Amino acid sequence: MRDTGVRKTYVEDIDRSIYDVKDKVNASFQVEKGLTAKIVNEIAIKKNDPEWMRLFRLKSLQVYNRLPMPSWGPSLDGLDMEQIITYIRPDTRMSAKWTEVPDDIKNTFERLGIPKAERDYLSGVGAQYDSEVVYHNLREEVSRQGVIYTDMESAIHDPVYGPMVKKHFMKLVPPEDHKFVALHGAVWSGGSFVYVPPGVNVEVPLQSYFRLNAPGAGQFEHTLIIVGAGASLHFIEGCSAPKYNVANLHAGCVELYVGENAHLRYSTVENWSKNMYNLNTKRALVEKGASMEWVSGSFGSHVSYLYPMSILKGEKARMEFTGITFAGKGQSLDTGMKVVHAAPYTYSNISTKSISKDGGNCTYRSSVKILPDAHDCKSSVSCESLMLDDRSRSDTIPVTDIQNDNVDIGHEAKIGRISDDAIFYLMSRGLSEEDAKAMIVTGFAEPIAKELPMEYAVEMNNLIRLEMEGSIG
């Protein structure tokens, strides 16, 4: 390896001016800081929870108090639950018309491009502001197909879908799973419920956007998606918040049920502000012949723990995971995935990339588990990490656990910096050093960028826009 001694490629941070606009906190109701049974009860009453849900919250609180903090992963020392406001209801009711959404909130979503995206290419949009959904709408033609896309609060009280929610709510991700999902069970609010009837193909995506505006607040939205047999859906999730000097917390929960031969694509671009603790839990149950695709971009937050999990329950179920993580100054992003092959002939393919710069820490963490009866499974994992300076860190912590012999499991990981040989080669073809480096970093991220929804791909390109300072030689 050659050390050219050139000045370092400089990769810009994302331009956060759009995200950092702070609205005045205009809440109709908020609980006190901290976490007590009184607060949990208060949330249940305020949200008019059915009794089973109120009891579920209190049970989850007990689990939360019992479970220890994670003994692995980035430090959570800066997170003090006594300082977090777990429920803050904006001063508006949910609407299906943007004109009925208060101006300050509407303007925020306008700046984020949500109403325009809805007009241009989405089937439906849900927009959550702090703890509650302020806007939810589904195109009529999609609605006519029997697709339900609504906020969780409405779904839980719906005579038809309420029992469905009760049957599935936190069954895939039980509160006992870990401390922060127990917290979610206790104080959750907002989020979306999606039901796609069997055989229905939702051709254009649905999108939920989560915006946390209040300082020192937590967002705990619950997303429950049920895709019926043979149906298909693309769901997009976006998250952002302005930066404050106090810690904010996001502990959402996503439960996805993918029916036989169904297809679900779940895309996320997470761009929380750098005071955010993002401790999110996502899980999919994939039935026979069904396929689950995850596309995940993690750019924001101070600390992230994020590992979407797929349980390949039925024969020939498939899962693909494509993810990119970009950690800059002050960020520790611990991301990855988990997959359980629980049935024969199941398949998983995982491809991740990470970029660490300016003192940022990226950790790729994963688990591939093949259960004893899951014969004839295939799994392939590829993770690549790019270090842009020597103040940053990049760790790769993958584990495979294989419990039968009739499998084909491959894993490869690479870590390094921009190759001098590659720069040399491109320069020998006539590119300047700056252009060569820009091309290599863009090329590194390209396989992921092309999987992202269009507007996020543009955002991603902005993100990795290069400013070259290197002098030749």
Footprint on this chain of another protein (rule: CB under 8 A) = 1, 3, 71-72, 365, 367, 372, 375, 385, 387-390, 392-417
* Minimum distance, C-beta of residue 365 to another protein, in the bound complex (Å): 6
* Minimum distance, C-beta of residue 310 to another protein, in the bound complex (Å): 16
- Cβ nearer to another protein, comparing 177 with 221: 177
Q: How many CB atoms lie within 10 A of CB 25?
A: 16
- Cβ nearer to another protein, comparing 120 with 408: 408
Identify any residues that bridge with 282 across adjacent strands, giving them in sequence order: 254
What are 304's two structure tokens?
A: 């992230």
- Cβ nearer to another protein, comparing 70 with 447: 70
Residues 6+ apart with CB under 8 A from 335: 296, 298, 304, 306, 307, 323, 325, 352, 354, 362, 363, 364, 365
Q: 176: closest CA among 293, 66, 331, 24?
A: 66
- Cβ nearer to another protein, comparing 41 with 380: 380
d(CA 100, CA 421): 58
Long-range contacts of 403-406 (CB under 8 A, 24+ apart): 403/369, 403/370, 403/371, 403/372, 403/374, 404/370, 404/371, 404/372, 404/373, 404/374, 404/375, 406/375, 406/376, 406/377
- Cβ nearer to another protein, comparing 402 with 468: 402
* Minimum distance, C-beta of residue 173 to another protein, in the bound complex (Å): 15
* Minimum distance, C-beta of residue 344 to another protein, in the bound complex (Å): 11
* Minimum distance, C-beta of residue 65 to another protein, in the bound complex (Å): 19
- Cβ nearer to another protein, comparing 171 with 414: 414
In degrees and rounded to multiples of 5, residue 471 shows phi and psi of: -100, 150
d(CA 357, CA 13): 9
* Minimum distance, C-beta of residue 361 to another protein, in the bound complex (Å): 9
> What dihedral angle (degrees, nearest 10) is formed by the CA atoms of 189, 282, 228, 47?
-10
- Cβ nearer to another protein, comparing 314 with 336: 336
- Cβ nearer to another protein, comparing 27 with 415: 415
* Minimum distance, C-beta of residue 50 to another protein, in the bound complex (Å): 33
d(CA 207, CA 264): 13
Report helix, strand and coil shares of the chain as percent, to nearest 5.
25, 35, 40
- Cβ nearer to another protein, comparing 123 with 385: 385
d(CA 386, CA 302): 20
* Minimum distance, C-beta of residue 340 to another protein, in the bound complex (Å): 11
* Minimum distance, C-beta of residue 299 to another protein, in the bound complex (Å): 20
Give, in degrees to the nearest 5, the angle at Cα 141 between 140 and 143.
Answer: 60
| Coil/strand/helix, residue 409 | strand
